[in-house]
Amino acid sequence: MGKELADASPAARAAYAAADEALGWAVSAICWNGPGDRLNDTRQTQPCLVATSLACVAALREACSDAGTSLFPAFAAGHSVGEYAALAAAGVLSELDALRLVSLRGSLMAEAGVGGGMVAVIGLDRRRIEETIGAVAPFGSLIVANDNAPGQVVISGTSAALAAAERLLRDAGAKRLIRLRVSGPFHSPAMAPVGEALERAFDTVAWSDADPPIVSNVTGEPVHEATSIRALLARQVSSPVEWVASVERMVAQGVDTFVECGPGAALSGMVRRIAPQARILNVTDSMTLHDTVAALQVAVQVPTPAPA
């Protein structure tokens, strides 16, 4: 991921080079060439995702500057580990500190030693899922971990609770149940020790207020102050990702255009289901970069008054 964009954009190439230097291993080579088993290891997956997102942001800023197009987003937001990329884009963390924290986050999550996993539930709304999984409490902890979009919710918990819930959710009318390839029950209370370790690591980096505000995964609300952002980020790994609430909040604040920067377009699909009236753009390669800059140029044009 990211290779074609890095070939086309000096800024994206520089972002990857900075990631390689910051982490002391070939982030760029793994992003561009794999192998797949390393890209699927959360210790590499998380830094690679954030490095690619930051490269896409750098390419967008470079292209907008070259085109004379202003880029002043009203908010920044990211999904799960993507929130760290959003924090760097909003100036809360330096890109190097964001990458170092994400590398630690991936290692801590991989080494947590907590049994369990995650299942995506397709075709049921959140309330019905919460009502259904409440019956599996005797089998262990199970919660909604990602509220991604209407009819797309991820649950997280112990292996026994997930197995019991799958049977009940099928009976409740779920269209599909997809076991995610993860090493533990992420975004559940089982990850609280990871959050505590991250909070201690937060003391080693500099924090700034967000510009633009960050819409928090934990609350779905905009946050500006660095101290509040830091406290919420410590809770993020053990709390549900409130993506639906986040997008709805931005729309309620007048946002009509969303630009996704990163590999693929998963968030674009989620936003489209949450806010079908919104304009959705994304930057993942040179073609989508060109199309996004062209669309932004049109969006920010101010009509010239007709001569009197």
Distance CA 112, CA 190 (A): 9
Q: Number of folded domains in the chain? A: 2
Q: Is the pLDDT of residue 306 over 70?
A: no
How sure is the predictor about 302, in pLDDT bands with cuts at 50, 70 and 90? very low
Whether the predicted pLDDT of 307 surpasses 70: no
Contact 36, 43 (CB under 8 A): no
Is 193 found in the same domain as 167? no
* Average pLDDT for 70-74: 92
Beta bridge partners of 23: none
Of these residues, 9, 156, 187, 188, which one is catalytic?
Answer: 187
Q: Say if residue 239's pLDDT is above 50.
A: yes
- In the chain, the DSSP E strands lie at 117-122, 142-149, 152-157, 176-179, 214-215, 222-223, 257-261, 279-283
Judge whether 80 counts as a catalytic residue.
yes
Do 108 and 127 lie in a common domain? no
Could you say which of 9, 28, 53, 80 is catalytic?
Answer: 80
The stretch 265-287 carries a mean pLDDT of 98
What is the mean pLDDT of the segment spanning 53-74? 96
Q: Is residue 308 part of a domain?
A: no
Instruction: Clarify whether residues 74 and 143 are in a common domain.
Output: no
CATH assignment at residue 153: 3.30.70.250
Catalytic residue flag (residue 187): yes
Range of the domain at 82: 3-112+189-300
Residues 245 and 284 in one domain: yes
Structure confidence at residue 145 (pLDDT):
98
Among 187-191, 208-212, 265-269, 297-301, which is the least confidently predicted range? Answer: 297-301
Q: Which residue has the tokens 């980020």?
A: 233
Report which DSSP code applies to 76.
B
Amino acid at 137: A
* Average pLDDT of the segment spanning 58-87: 97
Q: What is the pLDDT of residue 174?
A: 98
CATH number of the domain to which 267 belongs: 3.40.366.10
142 strand-pairing partners: 157
- pTM for the complete prediction? 0.94
Give strand pairing partners of 156.
118, 143
Name the residue with higher pLDDT: 96 or 70. 96
Average pLDDT, the chain: 95
288 assigned to some structural domain: yes
* pLDDT of res. 301: 63
